[in-house]
Amino acid sequence: MSVVFGGASIQLARVLGIRIGVHPSWFVVLFLMIWSLSGLYEDVVGNNAFVLAALSAFLFFASVVLHELGHAVVARRNGIETQGIDLWLLGGLARLSRDSDSPGVEFRVAAAGPAVTLVFGLACVGAGYALAGSDSFRDALSFEENGRVGAGEAVLAWLTWVNAVLLGFNLIPGFPLDGGRMARAIAWWRTGDRAKATRFAASLGQAFAYLLIGYGIYRFLLGDVLALAWFGLMGFFIIQAARAADVQSQITARIEGLRVADVMDGEPVAVPADLKLDRLFDEYFLRYGYAWFPVVDPIGKFIGVVIRQRAENVPEQIRPTSSVDEVTQFDLGNAHAVPIDAPLESLLASEGLQALGAMMAVDRDGILRGVVTIDQVRKALRPPEPVA
């Protein structure tokens, strides 16, 4: 599932330069999964049930990460960066920097995750048959308690089933599931209207969500309290995500075609990296009253930001001999820089814009050409004033 929003998470690793994190709710699911699988493996295999359950749980979440990396890699190839992948209560989320700019890109990005899941599931099937043979692996796939199922084929059989369920669930044509994004891409291609296509896919998603909630209520009436909580939570999330996508689509439709260069301040006040700190206070902080300034090297390339509070930590008596680059917060990960020809939409999910309140617009050589503030973005997002 790929979405365009953020959230607090604990970083675990970086894969292909993409941050992999877990939301605290993930640990709850991990515990419940290991607990339930321990009982399953104890019935089917007998020995080492907890070890097999823990291994299966972590391999499953590894497959979820691979699913989201499928989205991320294809998105990157189409000019869309991924700000991170988070594992949480209901699976995985790829946080894309912006929405797709064409139906073809939307379809390819959406289909990449299910394609990876399909390949992973088939690999589990192939490995299971190679390890145990056809008869034994068929017993494993049906979770036969006949003593013939070994530990390896039991794990591979469970991974096959759970990835088949994951594939089927994600292919349901309701936004924000991958099938819903694929349905949106097709509707967008047919109508030429992204907002209308999003509304259509969001409606499908909400209809499916209500079916999930209804099924949870049905199971609850049969005595399954956990089913109501699980399916109700999934339904609520899908409804909220579908509504948010519809609203976001209407917002982005207002700025479609706008680039960063269209709204930026083309005459930014920048500080040379070799400027002494005493002059920094006299000529910049005291003169303009800003809390920070972009810092540029001798050829005008943006290298980072100097923040007043950090500069004030330098004792006043050594400021005449200290230069700005000694207190610069260097922009190593391009967190505060954006290409001037980037779609304005790409700033909507920018963590740098939220943190600093502005982004530095740079050309292909990294030369600072302007500054776009959060107020300028908000102004562009406002609907036009009605004409009297």
What CATH number corresponds to the domain at position 303?
Answer: 3.10.580.10
Starting at the edge strand that comes first in sequence, how are the strands of the sheet with 91-96 ordered?
Answer: 2-3, 91-96, 82-88, 18-22, 10-15
**Can you give the pLDDT at residue 146?**
54
Mean pLDDT of 291-298: 92
Q: Among 10, 356, 2, which residue's Cα sits nearest to residue 182?
A: 2
Could you tell me if 162 and 19 lie in one domain?
Answer: yes
CB 7 within 8 A of CB 23: yes
Q: Is the pTM of this model over 0.85?
A: no
Q: Under DSSP, is residue 66 helix (H, G, I), strand (E, B) or coil? A: helix
Q: Under DSSP, is residue 172 helix (H, G, I), strand (E, B) or coil? A: coil
CB 41 within 8 A of CB 49: yes
- Tens of pLDDT, residue by residue over 204-228, are 989 999 998 999 899 889 888 778 8
Mean pLDDT of 153-180: 88
Is the residue at 308 inside a domain? yes
Is the residue at 137 inside a domain? yes
Burial class of residue 130 (count of CB atoms within 10 Å of its CB; 0-12, 13-18, 19+): exposed
Could you tell me if 159 and 54 lie in one domain?
Answer: yes
Number of domains in the chain: 2
**Can you give the pLDDT at residue 184?**
92
**Can you give the pLDDT at residue 388?**
44
Could you tell me if 161 and 278 lie in one domain?
Answer: no
- The residue that leads in pLDDT, 137 or 161, is 161
**Residue 148 pLDDT exceeds 70:** no
**Residue 66 pLDDT exceeds 80:** yes
Decide which of 123, 148, 171 is a domain's last residue. 171
Starting at the edge strand that comes first in sequence, how are the strands of the sheet with 358-362 ordered?
Answer: 337-339, 358-362, 368-373
Dist. CA 141–CA 265, nearest whole Å: 62
Is the residue at 241 inside a domain? no
Is the residue at 219 inside a domain? no
Mean pLDDT of 360-366: 91
**Can you give the pLDDT at residue 7?**
47
**Can you give the pLDDT at residue 175?**
84
- Please give the backbone phi and psi of residue 348, each rounded to the nearest 5 degrees, phi first: -65, -30
Could you tell me if 6 and 153 lie in one domain?
Answer: yes
**Residue 191 pLDDT exceeds 70:** yes
Could you tell me if 265 and 166 lie in one domain?
Answer: no
CB 360 within 8 A of CB 333: no
Burial class of residue 4 (count of CB atoms within 10 Å of its CB; 0-12, 13-18, 19+): buried
Radius of gyration, alpha carbons of the chain: 26
Mean pLDDT of 352-366: 85
Distance (Å) of CA 114 to CA 70, 108, 165, 184, 240: 8, 11, 11, 16, 23
Is the residue at 147 inside a domain? yes
Could you tell me if 144 and 274 lie in one domain?
Answer: no
Could you tell me if 266 and 145 lie in one domain?
Answer: no
Dist. CA 381–CA 377, nearest whole Å: 6
Task: Note down the domain range covering 108.
Answer: 2-171
Is the residue at 254 inside a domain? no
- Please give the backbone phi and psi of residue 158, each rounded to the nearest 5 degrees, phi first: -65, -40
Residues 349/354/356/360 CA torsion (nearest 10 deg) = 30
Could you tell me if 149 and 51 lie in one domain?
Answer: yes
Mean pLDDT of 15-26: 85
The share of the chain scoring above pLDDT 70, in percent, equals: 91
CB 359 within 8 A of CB 277: no
- Tens of pLDDT, residue by residue over 227-265, are 888 888 888 888 888 888 777 777 776 667 788 888 888
Could you tell me if 157 and 9 lie in one domain?
Answer: yes
Q: Give the tokens for residue 152.
A: 């390896």
β-pairing, 271-272 vs 91-96, is: unpaired
Is the residue at 59 inside a domain? yes
Mean pLDDT of 97-108: 87
Is the residue at 331 inside a domain? yes
Could you tell me if 152 and 14 lie in one domain?
Answer: yes
Dist. CA 166–CA 118, nearest whole Å: 9
Could you tell me if 12 and 156 lie in one domain?
Answer: yes
- Residue 319 has a CB neighbour count (10 Å cut-off) of 18
If pLDDT is split at 50, 70 and 90, which confidence band does 387 have? very low
Q: Give the tokens for residue 170.
A: 């994600």
- Tens of pLDDT, residue by residue over 333-342, are 677 888 898 8
Dist. CA 188–CA 193, nearest whole Å: 5
Decide which of 145, 171, 197 is a domain's last residue. 171
Could you tell me if 38 and 159 lie in one domain?
Answer: yes
Decide which of 139, 171, 203 is a domain's last residue. 171
